[in-house]
């Protein structure tokens, strides 16, 4: 029997005890956002250090100005083996409203779900304790079988992900030399469906801007001044309407600089996933597609940039009616970025466009709300394709390379502060109810997640 076959068999044999260990961690109420649970968050960190130490890692709790980090190291079978940083978070969301839970959120159990499949119930099962434990248990299976790990491993478990990660950037900066690796592994994502694993190759970046337009020096009576005085709501409406043309294309000069087309083979794979416009929009009560014409919904949400208006304020919005021309009007606008789009250039292009639309006797203020570039692994990355082949060998259907419409800040931090690319592999499902009552994690996700990491570590070594 080959080493990997032996390790996979050991992972199978370990499943009952792996569940026992996961349940121990799940019972700890590590709610990071609520000060009442500060001691529980610390308890979870201590538990992880003790368990990692028991399987051969050099592990420690690292204090921060908030909740602690867990850092652990293990040598590889060869000193020349790749050096990998694995990231996860051990804190969880609050459980409110508690009355909607079918069972105690901190009394995990294995049950039969509505799908007929076995599920692990409880807060943190999918986000992210169950996910991080798949990696730990893969390492355990390797150690118990071969006495070594195929790669050099550093583990970073955070205790503040669910409360904004205030300590993370300072910690990464302070410990950059210790944490820097060849690349990072992040297990806080999901599968395409219960039989199809996925690797996220791209995360969209973000630029947020709030604009405030001022016209007259006070609110005006619309009968006395209407038709003569500038109306900031009209000005704002014209600005926002002009952000897109009739085809859904964003009109800002230079907006698409750095945006690349999805390779034809990747796009063909996405087309086979069956995410039709009707199905995608039907789930939210819509039917008519928006955005750039001629693009699939997966292209639009995974691989194309956007300009969205997130809020508008102006004039009288109370009960009844008030015939007033407001002195001010404001809007919050966000841009999702892809490829090599530069957040600073997008922000300046937007501001220049807005200024060009402001009458000479009116003014505009800008208030920035964050800016981060997109993250994109090359679709032909050796790292990506080794992991894809490893996952495809484990699951019933071949792994797919996907994009993600949102952002995972830690991935940007790894790239910017540590100079590392990240491989995003997770085993959650869209119906895991993360952040909601009755969170669950498929037992199959946990079991095959462990086996998947065994295969990935072997492939990367």
The pLDDT > 90 percentage for the chain reads 95
Which alpha helices (DSSP H) does 288-360 contain, by range? 297-302, 343-356
What confidence category does residue 35 fall into, taking pLDDT thresholds of 50, 70 and 90? very high
CATH classification number, 3-203+375-460, choose in 3.40.50.10540, 3.40.630.10, 3.40.470.10, 3.40.50.1970: 3.40.630.10
| Token code pair at residue 94 | 């609050």
What confidence category does residue 4 fall into, taking pLDDT thresholds of 50, 70 and 90? very high
Using the predicted structure, report yes or no on whether residue 1 has a pLDDT greater than 70: no
The tens digit of pLDDT for each residue in 187-215 reads 999 999 999 999 999 999 999 999 999 99
Level-2 CATH architecture, domain 205-259+305-372: 2-Layer Sandwich (3.30)
Distance CA 366, CA 331 (A): 10
For residue 156, give the nearest of 185, 192, 189 by alpha carbon. 185
* CB contact burial 38-54 (16+ within 10 A = b; e otherwise): eebbbbbbebbbebbee
| Per-chain mean pLDDT for the chain | 96
pTM metric for this prediction:
0.89
Residues 6+ apart with CB under 8 A from 27: 106, 107, 108
Residues 6+ apart with CB under 8 A from 363: 213, 214
What confidence category does residue 151 fall into, taking pLDDT thresholds of 50, 70 and 90? very high
| Integer Rg of the chain from CA | 25
What confidence category does residue 408 fall into, taking pLDDT thresholds of 50, 70 and 90? confident
Q: Do 455 and 146 meet the contact criterion of CB atoms below 8 Å apart?
A: no
The pLDDT value recorded for residue 371 is: 87
Residue spans per domain, the chain: 3-203+375-460, 205-259+305-372
C-beta atoms surrounding 232 within 10 Å: 26
For residue 237, give the nearest of 335, 309, 327 by alpha carbon. 309
For residue 241, give the nearest of 362, 137, 331, 347 by alpha carbon. 331
- 385's torsion region: left (phi>0), alpha (psi -120 to 50) or beta? alpha
The tens digit of pLDDT for each residue in 424-447 reads 999 999 999 999 999 999 999 999
The pLDDT value recorded for residue 289 is: 86
Using the predicted structure, report yes or no on whether residue 89 has a pLDDT greater than 80: yes
The tens digit of pLDDT for each residue in 226-269 reads 999 999 999 999 999 999 999 999 999 999 999 999 999 999 99
């Amino acid at each position: 029997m080959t080493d990997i076959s032996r390790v996979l068999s050991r992972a199978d044999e370990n499943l009952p005890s792996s569940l026992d260990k996961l349940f121990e961690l799940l019972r700890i109420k590590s709610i990071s956002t609520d000060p009442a649970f500060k001691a529980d968050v610390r308890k979870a960190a201590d538990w992880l250090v003790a368990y990692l130490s028991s399987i051969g890692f050099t592990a420690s709790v690292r204090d921060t100005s908030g909740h602690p980090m867990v850092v652990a190291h293990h040598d590889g079978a060869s000193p020349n083996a790749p050096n990998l940083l694995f990231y996860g978070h051990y804190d969880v969301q609050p459980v409110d409203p508690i009355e909607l839970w079918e069972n105690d959120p901190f009394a995990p159990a294995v049950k039969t779900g509505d799908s007929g499949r076995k599920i692990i119930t409880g807060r943190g099962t999918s986000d992210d304790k169950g996910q991080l434990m798949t990696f730990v248990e893969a390492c355990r299976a390797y150690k118990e079988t071969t006495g070594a790990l195929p790669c050099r491993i550093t583990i970073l478990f955070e205790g503040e992900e669910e409360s904004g990660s205030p300590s993370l950037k300072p910690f990464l900066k302070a410990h950059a030399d210790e944490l820097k690796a060849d690349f990072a592994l992040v297990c806080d994502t999901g599968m395409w469906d219960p039989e199809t694993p996925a690797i996220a190759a791209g995360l969209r970046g973000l630029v947020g801007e709030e604009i405030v337009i001022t016209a007259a020096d006070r609110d005006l009576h619309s009968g006395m001044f209407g038709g003569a005085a500038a109306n900031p709501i009209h000005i704002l409406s014209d600005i926002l309407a002009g952000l897109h043309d009739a085809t859904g294309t964003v009109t800002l000069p230079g907006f698409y600089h750095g945006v690349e087309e999805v390779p034809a083979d990747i796009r063909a794979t996405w087309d086979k996933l069956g995410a039709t416009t009707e199905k995608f929009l039907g789930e939210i009560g819509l039917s008519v597609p928006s955005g750039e014409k001629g693009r699939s919904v997966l292209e639009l949400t995974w691989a194309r940039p956007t300009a969205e208006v997130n809020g508008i304020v102006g004039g009288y919005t109370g009960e009844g009616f008030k015939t007033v021309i407001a002195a001010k009007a404001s809007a919050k606008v966000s841009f999702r970025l892809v490829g090599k789009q530069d957040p600073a250039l997008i922000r300046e292009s937007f501001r220049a466009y807005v200024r060009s639309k402001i009458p000479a006797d009116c003014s505009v203020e800008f208030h920035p709300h964050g800016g981060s570039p997109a993250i994109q692994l090359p679709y032909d990355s050796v790292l990506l394709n080794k992991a894809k082949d490893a996952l495809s060998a484990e699951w019933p259907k071949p792994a797919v390379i996907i994009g993600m419409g949102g952002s995972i800040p830690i991935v940007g931090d790894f790239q910017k502060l540590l100079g590392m690319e990240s491989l995003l592999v997770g085993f959650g499902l869209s119906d895991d109810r993360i952040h909601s009552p009755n969170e669950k994690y498929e037992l199959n996700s946990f079991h095959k997640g462990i086996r998947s990491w065994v295969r990935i570590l072997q492939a990367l070594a």
